[in-house]
Structure 1
């Protein structure tokens, strides 16, 4: 097995206060990048009665965490953070192209592009990234994982902490999507978020262990539901 591009495991480090605060900021649902407006196929699953209960929503999101997020976006962020820190421009471009090429529906691609552009604009108004890094990202048709990796790479935090942040931000947005679309109460949402939080570290460790040849974004039912959502008669979410 080719492991030349596998992320090297880091020693566990304590986070400095400034790094922790920056990561909390990036994970916040209040970050103005539009993540709250997407359900990533969940709304279509609700519409087709595949998800109708708290337990069903929890199972769906746990599967998505391990079968989709950990194998694709988290693995990309794991490779992209050190690439930004080492100014590996060709590597950054290749990872961004991989994200664009592996979105399996039009709306999933639109989501990663819109959130990538929005985070890029946020970066322009902060001192998190250098001007040359922002210019490089802007020239690449930026995707959200690469924009997030740039934002988090300046936090001086371990890569694992950056991935935990990415996954928790995703989990919060998806739980809110479940609350609105199933629908569920806030207590049910907190129970689902608790279940996701307990499983996120294992998903992150899996992503960190993947080589380039082991990344994958093959989620056929999710892609089908996303395509169906594009023409769904009534919907709350953009994807």
Structure 2
């Protein structure tokens, strides 16, 4: 009769890198990502997004124009810096993240999700006190803390960014389902379109340098700022 394997109290089997990436990409990760629409709700309020086609088009553009050129690019550079224990580089990249949050809501999202991610890492016993102190000195934003989590998986950088992008896509599709609103089948079709664009978006992010990395999406910034005073809303951004 089969018996359960015994796990030593002092030695926990390592979780395969693929499972770690799936875990980090899961909407169930308790960091509050489902609370934010990143300007999508404001776009819906202004009639820019109103059905499945316009929602898919909006999110594909957001993936390529903001995520790939900005957050995914800096995230990949942060993963490399964490693995090299390059504090100076992490400081510079962290400052860039803070400087590119163009509205109070986007700054709140980055900081709230970052602190929640830091707390999750602490609860998982994945980081020591010195790392926690460093994160607090840098002010833990979501890109900084998610990069730290990714750097510990041992997965190739390309797969790390793919996991991040798919997690982002799932959260944004859920936001569209609730606020357009759309049905589950529409959501799956939008997610399928986004999935086709993730690989080229990741490839672009990995080729981005400090000189070509950018955060220029004026319409999204305006919508985010307008969302702060939007009369009726479901999301925090």
Q: Same fold (TM over 0.5)?
A: yes
| SS at structure 2 position matched to 1:212 | coil
Say which of 188, 191, 201 aligns to 2:189: 191
Q: State whether structure 2 residue 180 is matched by structure 1 residue 182.
A: yes
| SS at structure 1 position matched to 2:185 | helix
Cα distance in 1 between the residues matched to 2:155 and 2:130? 21
Moved more, 136-145 or 39-48: 136-145
**Aligned 1:138-177 pairs, distance under 5 A:** 138-177=136-175
Which residue number corresponds to residue 226 of structure 1?
A: 224
Which residue number corresponds to residue 11 of structure 1?
A: none
How far off its partner does 1:165 sit?
A: 0.8
| SS at structure 1 position matched to 2:138 | coil
Q: Which runs of 5+ in 1 are unaligned?
A: 1-15
How far off its partner does 1:130 sit?
A: 3.5
Which residue number corresponds to residue 75 of structure 1?
A: 73
Cα distance in 2 between the residues matched to 1:148 and 1:101? 18
Cα distance in 2 between the residues matched to 1:58 and 1:26? 24
Q: Deviations over 1:85-133 (max 9, x none)?
A: 1100011111111001001111001100100000000011113334322
Cα distance in 2 between the residues matched to 1:154 and 1:130? 13
Say which of 26, 34, 47 aligns to 2:32: 34
Cα distance in 2 between the residues matched to 1:130 and 1:174? 32
Which residue number corresponds to residue 3 of structure 1?
A: none
Which residue number corresponds to residue 121 of structure 2?
A: 123
Cα distance in 2 between the residues matched to 1:93 and 1:157? 23
Which residue number corresponds to residue 104 of structure 1?
A: 102
Cα distance in 2 between the residues matched to 1:142 and 1:30? 20
In structure 2, the CA distance between the partners of 1:80 and 1:218, relative to structure 1 (3 Å rule), is same
| SS at structure 1 position matched to 2:16 | helix
Cα distance in 2 between the residues matched to 1:31 and 1:96? 22
Which residue number corresponds to residue 64 of structure 1?
A: 62
Which residue number corresponds to residue 5 of structure 1?
A: none
Q: Deviations over 1:112-160 (max 9, x none)?
A: 0100000000011113334322221122111101100000101011111
Q: Which runs of 5+ in 2 are unaligned?
A: 1-13
Q: State whether structure 2 residue 76 is matched by structure 1 residue 85.
A: no
Cα distance in 2 between the residues matched to 1:107 and 1:78? 24
Q: Which has the larger radius of gyration?
A: 2
